[in-house]
A and B are shown apart, each in its own frame.
Chain A
Amino acid sequence: MGSAALTILGKDLRLRLRDRSVWIFALAVPLGLTVLFSLIFPDTEDLQITGAVVDLDGGAVAAGFADGVIPALVDEGLLERIVVADAEAARSQVTDGDLDVAWILPVGFSDAIGAGEQVELEVLVAAGRSLEGEVARGIAEAYAAEVGRIGLAVTIEAAMTGGLDPGLIGGLGELAASQPRLASLADEVSDVGDPLDFTSYLAAGMAAFFVFFTVQFGVTGLLEERKLGTMPRLLAAPIRPAAIQAGKLLGALLLGLASMVVLAVASAVLLGADWGPPLGTAILIVALVIAALGVMALVGSFARTAEQAGNLQSIVAVVLGLVGGVFFPLPGDAGVLRIATLISPHGWFLRGLDAQASAGDWTLALGPAAAIVAFGIVTAIPAVVLQRRRQAW
């Protein structure tokens, strides 16, 4: 970009930083709300499930679950295992709420798996323990999927060799329980609803929410110049008209990035938050600021005045933020809401942080970041078209 754009960028940043409301809304309010919400809502960081396993089968595959998977969860501190006498006892304790969950492995479980037949691992969940239930169900599904895969392989082998090798079936549960994929699956599932710790989630959510307001000036800046009366002077200057918008977008981008980075660092230093691997976090932040610019530009291009634009943009930013779950993690079993997070850049942002933080792998941020950037592009294109049409020449 030319020096005119940079000059405008410099002027805009100077004006922004002089505006106290920018500091308040870009930094103070998000941090304040994070503190407030983390006080109001319980911290789910130390999610601990009280559960029991009832093995009515006694076969090898069932044992793989009861003696392989479950102890691993206990070791991880996720599960407190209660020993119960039988299925009835488990059922009544779940009903009473003494147990959060119970897994019941039915009679014939191992054989059915070995024969490649349909069989259900029953999961009981106490009322009001939806989060725990989600985790328990996830663990069961993960195991079932794993043994199902292996079971299929065994069945094929049986069909080819004309008989079942009992030894093979015996080793099935062990095999399934030791699968690394299952372990990681259980790991991931165990983090549902608590991907980042609660404070980090909130801090990131608040930052994502408010950055949409921070970048506003970049897209409504032209309307504001018009309101100030400075637009004729900018248009009379020997610069390309596009430089005016370019300078503003660049300024908004920088300010948006800066506010998010400062919030990430400040929430870490002041509140002990951790947004996960820095590289992935940085990628997600850049993506989100781009999306914020695109979305706000599109909304703003329907407005005639700066006030109108501000109102429309606020509505959209609040709705996308709410839907994206910036104020509280959405419960995992709320299917519609889960889908809703997918249509919100905020939702993708939090998912991306969640994924990369849980796995400690920044590359997991790339998918969600791509989705967020797509938001930006899809909204920016019509915004540019509308803006072009609006121009006086």
Chain B
Amino acid sequence: MGQVAQQVLRATGLRKAFGALQAVDEVSLTIAPGETYGLLGPNGAGKTTSISMIAGLLKPDAGTIEVDGRTMTPTATAAKAAVGLVPQDLAIYPDLSARENLRFFGRLYGLPKAELTRRLDEVLSVIGLTDRADDRAGEFSGGMKRRLNIGVGMLHGPKLLILDEPTVGVDPQSRNAILDSVEELATEGLAVLYTTHYMEEAERLCDRIAIVDQGRIVAEGTRRELIATIGEQDVVRLTVAGDAAAAAAACERLPAISSADAEDDVVVCLVDGAAAALPQLLAEVAASGASVSGVEVREPDLEDVFLHLTGKALRD
């Protein structure tokens, strides 16, 4: 019982279809206070749809959602008050200033006046917009708009902060600032649900990561656990000229190779003991009619996990 109550978010068996398309298929996840949970998946994987259901924007076809112990539905105001949402698309009014944007949404969340004023200044400083607080948001740079977008989501002090690809289109500096503030919030005890298709972000921020593809969670765990699903293997990337798919198929026949996938002109292989297997590997590729122009051996990362699980690249 104590365990159950501890979770800020419990989503179980979420399903959502748009016509014939099963956008979300049996997604379940829990997030504890202070934990950052990542949904990592390519375009169209169903991340935003999952989040929309969790935030109460969309009614699931099946499944249950509890936030802070309360059932989430599109009309559950108490549950919604515990959630801060940072939508994937900018959700700010360009004709209002940064401060006015924050104040408007703060009022919608019912913040008392004094607290609102205090939080306004706090958040403006966190998102680094104190100097520009009274300028029209429409005049901001892309990164500043993104930061304001995030600021609105965390203004009312939610227990669960949901960020849907908050760094898309942001310069490296702003991105770092954003990631820093998310980390900061998590250390303060916030539960964070973070979607991205940037592996590095997921690796850096998230305590646990779910790899999502075609509406399903295909693997879940810490970064270490996910990489361990590949085993103690090396990643060998062969740049080839010729039929990469045929080369990959040839490689996969070798006993030391657990998987080989073609990605444009690159064949990515998971190999037990790369040093020993490499000569055979090169021979197989040559036998398939392709020629090798580059070889790279490295430790596997989440990209490789994704490729291994789904047979395709995280980013297209």
Contacts and interface: CB of A to CB of B under 8 A. Distances in A.
Interface of A: 3-4, 7-8, 11, 14-15, 18-19, 228-241, 392-393
* Residue of B55, B59, B83, B104 ringed by the most chain A CB atoms within 10 A: B104
Interface stretch (B86-94, B238-246, B274-282): B86-94
B309 interface: no
B95 interface: yes
Given A237-B109, A392-B59, 13 more contacts: A11-B104, A14-B96, A15-B95, A230-B91, A232-B55, A233-B105, A235-B57, A236-B85, A237-B80, A239-B77, A240-B77, A392-B58, A392-B74
Interface of B: 52, 55-59, 74-75, 77-78, 80-81, 83, 85, 87, 89-96, 100, 104-105, 107-110, 152
Contacts of B74: 235, 241, 392-393
Contacts of A11: 93, 96, 104
Contacts of A234: 108
Contact of A15 (B58, B90, B93, B110): B93
A236 B152 contact: no
Nearest to A4: B108
A229 B90 contact: yes
Contact of B91 (A4, A232, A238): A232
Nearest to A15: B95
Contacts of A241: 74-75
A7 B104 contact: yes
- The 8 nearest A-B residue pairs measured at CB: A238-B77, A238-B81, A229-B89, A238-B80, A233-B91, A236-B85, A237-B108, A393-B59
Given A7-B104, A239-B108, A233 B152 contact: yes
Contacts of A239: 77, 108
A229 B105 CA distance: 14
A8 B91 CA distance: 15
Contacts of A236: 55-57, 80, 83, 85, 87
Contacts of A392: 57-59, 74
B14 to A, nearest CB: 15
Max count, chain B CB within 10 A of own CB: residue among A7, A236, A392 = A236
15 contacts: A3-B110, A7-B107, A15-B93, A228-B91, A229-B89, A229-B91, A232-B52, A232-B91, A233-B91, A236-B56, A236-B83, A236-B87, A241-B75, A392-B59, A392-B74
Nearest to B48: A232
A235 B85 CA distance: 10
B152 to A, nearest CB: 7
Nearest to B52: A232
B114 to A, nearest CB: 16
A136 B190 CA distance: 84
A237 B105 contact: yes
B59 A230 contact: no
Contacts, number: 75
A234 B77 CA distance: 12
Contacts of A7: 104, 107-108
B77 A233 contact: no
A228 B95 CA distance: 11
Contacts of A232: 52, 55, 57, 85, 87, 89, 91
A393 B76 CA distance: 13
A392 B81 CA distance: 21
A178 to B, nearest CB: 66
Contact of A19 (B87, B95, B104): B95
A232 B54 CA distance: 12
Contact of A230 (B92, B100, B107): B92
Nearest to B77: A238
Contacts of B100: 14
A304 B90 CA distance: 21
A34 to B, nearest CB: 30
Contacts of B95: 15, 18-19
Contacts of A233: 85, 87, 91, 105, 152
A230 B93 contact: yes
Contact of B109 (A18, A228, A238, A393): A238
B123 to A, nearest CB: 15
Contact of A235 (B56, B81, B93): B56
Contacts of B83: 236
A228 B101 CA distance: 13
A217 to B, nearest CB: 13
Nearest to B74: A393
A58 B94 CA distance: 81
Contacts of A229: 87, 89-91
B50 to A, nearest CB: 14
A233 B56 CA distance: 10
A11 B57 CA distance: 21
A267 to B, nearest CB: 30
A169 to B, nearest CB: 78
A234 B93 CA distance: 12
A232 B58 CA distance: 10
Nearest to A11: B104
B87 to A, nearest CB: 4
Nearest to B81: A238
B90 A240 contact: no
A392 B18 CA distance: 11
A291 B92 CA distance: 32
B124 to A, nearest CB: 18
Nearest to B87: A232
Nearest to B86: A233
Nearest to A229: B89
Contacts of B107: 3, 7
A239 B55 CA distance: 13
Contacts of B80: 236-238
A228 B91 CA distance: 7
Nearest to A236: B85
A238 B110 contact: yes
Contacts of A4: 108
A289 B166 CA distance: 42
